[in-house]
Amino acid sequence: MDVRGYIEANSRGYFDALKQWLAIPSISADPARREDVRRSAEWLAARLRATGFPAAEVWETGSTDPSGGRGLPAVFAEWRSDDPGAPVVLVYGHHDVQPVEPLEEWHSPPFQPAERDGQLLARGASDDKGQVLFHDLGLRACLAAGAPAARSAPPVTLKLLVEGEEESGSPHLADLLRRERERLSCDVIVITDTSIWAPDVPSMCVGMRGLFGAQIDMTGPELDLHSGSFGGGVPNPLHAMAALLGGLHDSGGRVTLPGFYDQVAPLSAQERELIGRLPMREKEWLAAAGHSRAASGEAGYGTLERIWARPTAEINGMWGGHTGPGGKTIIPARAHAKLSFRLVAHQEPAAVEAALRRYVADHTPPGIEATVTSEGPGVRPAFSPIDSPAVAAGRRAMERAFGREVLFTREGGSGPEADLTDILQAPLVFIGTGLDDDRIHAPNEKAEMALLLKGAEAAAYLWDELAAAGPELTAGRPGGTESG
C-alpha cells in the first residue's frame, strides 16, 4: 500500500479521533476553560504516544509560582530518527481555540463536531486541531507505507510543539522556547497553521508581516484657547498632527520615514512572476475588503505584492479638540494619533520605532511638544526564501500530494513565527491546507475533509523530502554536529 492508499484506508480513524479532540472546548481566552485546555493537551499527548512517539509530554508554561503568571500547557513530543545525521524537524501548531460567541449564529454546536457535504464543522476544525492532527496521520502513513518496508522510526528526527495559548497571543511562548531551547533545537521549523489559495490552486505561505505600533501625542497651549482671541497667533497641535500624518506617504504611496525601506528584501523577478500566476480576481478581493471601491497603495506594485511583500504605515485613529455636536471655536491644547506599521523582512521593529521618533521630531513645529509612545516591542516579520532548501523540500511534498504545481503566498497576520525562528535559529516552512473561507475565529468554522487528508499526505512525504535535503539543512549547525 502506498501513502495515499494508507491515508484513504485510515481516514475514518483520523476523523473519529479528530472529532474526539474537537469536542474538548480548549478556549485559551476563557479562564473557565483552563481545565479543558489541559484535557486537550493530555488528549494529544496520549494520541501521539499511541502513534509511537517515545516521548510525548505536557509542558507547563509561564511562572511556576502558583501566585501568578501561570500559563496554559503545551504538548511536546519527540521521535528520533535511526540516522543520527538526519535533519531535526520541529512541527509547530496549537491546540487552543478561539471563543465561540455569538453562539446563536452556529448552525451546529461548536463542540459537537458534525460532518456535512465533505466538511467537518467545529471550532478548531481548521484552526488548528485538524491541521495538527494531520501530521499524526501523515506520520503513521510515512512509517507504514512510505518506504519499501514498514519503518520503525521516521526518516528525520521529529519534534512537535503544540501550544495552548496561540489564540491568546502566545504570551508565554518566547519564555518556553528559551527555557527548552536544547530540547527544541532543530534544523527546520514546520508551521502548520496556514491556508492554500484554493482547493485546486495549492500554495505555500512563505512569509508573514511583522508589526510595530505607536501613539503620537502633541501638546500646544496649556489649555484650549478662544480662536477669536488667539487664532492665527499660536501653533495649533491638530494642524501640526494633520501635516505630520499627511506627510507619512509621498505621492507614490511610499512611506517617508527616514531609512524605512533600507532593510526591505526586494521581491525577486521569480517571486513576482509566481505571485502573478495566482488567479486573483480584484473585484472579489475588493468585495472581501469591506466592499472597498478601489484598490490603492504603493505605486509600482500589484495588490498581492502590496499586502504581502511591502511594508506599510497606517493611521489607526486620530483625535483631539472639539468633536461633539455644534461648533466650538477653539485652538485645541492637544492632538493624538495611533499608528501601526506592517513590516516585511528584514525590517526590525526597533529600527522603525527609531525612524518614527526621528520623523516626528523633524516634523514638529516650534511651540508644539510631541511624544511617541510605542505599543510594545512589536513583532518581527517572518520570511522563508522560496529557493531555500527547506521551502523547496516542502514544495515537493505539497506537489506530490496535490499532483500539481504549488505556488507561493504570504499572510498578513503576525503569529509566533518570528519568535520560533529567532529563538531556535532555524528556517520556517509553512505546510497548511486551510482555506481563507474556513471561517476561522468566526461562527461555523469548518475544514474541508479532503484537504485535511491532502495535508496528511504532504506531511507523509515531507519527512522523506527533508531527509533527502539533509546535508543542505544541517550545514548551518554549530560545529556541523547534531545539536539536539
Neighbours of 171 (CB within 10 A): 14
Closest distance of CB 93 from Zn ion, Å: 11
Query: Any contact of residue 78 with Zn ion (CB under 5 A)?
Result: no
Nearer to Zn ion by C-beta: 124 or 311? 124
Q: Looking at beta carbons only, is 36 or 127 nearer to Zn ion?
A: 127
Q: 38-68 as b/e, with b when 16 or more CB fall inside 10 Å?
A: bbbbebbbebbeebebeebbbbebbeeeeee
**Dist. CA 131–CA 22, nearest whole Å:** 12
Closest distance to Zn ion from the beta carbon of 29 (Å): 11
Element of type H or E holding 352: helix 349-362
- As given in the structure block, the three cell numbers for residue 479 are 560545529
Nearest distance, CB of residue 481 and Zn ion, angstroms: 37
Closer residue to Zn ion (CB): 127 or 271:
127
DSSP assignments along 1-61, one per residue: --HHHHHHHTHHHHHHHHHHHHTS--BTT-GGGHHHHHHHHHHHHHHHHHHT-SEEEEE--
Smallest distance, Å, CB 98 to Zn ion? Answer: 6
Q: How far is the CB of 8 from Zn ion (least distance, A)?
A: 29
* 187 binding Zn ion? (CB under 5 A): no
Asked if 328 and 322 count as a contact pair (C-beta separation under 8 A), the reply is yes
* Number of residues counted as binding Zn ion (CB under 5 A): 1
Q: Nearer Cβ to Zn ion, position 131 or 364? A: 131
Per-residue binder mask for Zn ion (CB under 5 A), 118-137, x = binder:
---------x----------
Give the nearest distance from C-beta 127 to Zn ion in angstroms. Answer: 4
* Contacts within 8 Å (CB) and 24+ apart, 146-154: 146/3, 146/460, 146/461, 146/463, 146/464, 147/464, 152/82, 153/79, 153/80, 153/81, 153/82, 154/79, 154/81, 154/463
Q: Which is nearer to Zn ion, 389 or 415 (CB)?
A: 415
The residue type found at 136 is D
Contact flags string 32-71 toward Zn ion, x per CB under 5 A: ----------------------------------------
Could you say whether residue 438 binds Zn ion (CB under 5 A)?
no
The DSSP call for residue 215 is E
| Nearer Cβ to Zn ion (170/347) | 170
- Nearest distance, CB of residue 124 and Zn ion, angstroms: 9
Q: Which residue is nearest to Zn ion (CB)?
A: 127
Q: What is the DSSP letter of 265?
A: P
Cβ at position 188, least distance to Zn ion in Å: 23
- CA 132 from chain centre, in angstroms, equals 15
Q: Are 482 and 85 in contact (CB under 8 A)?
A: yes
Residues that bind Zn ion (CB under 5 A): 127
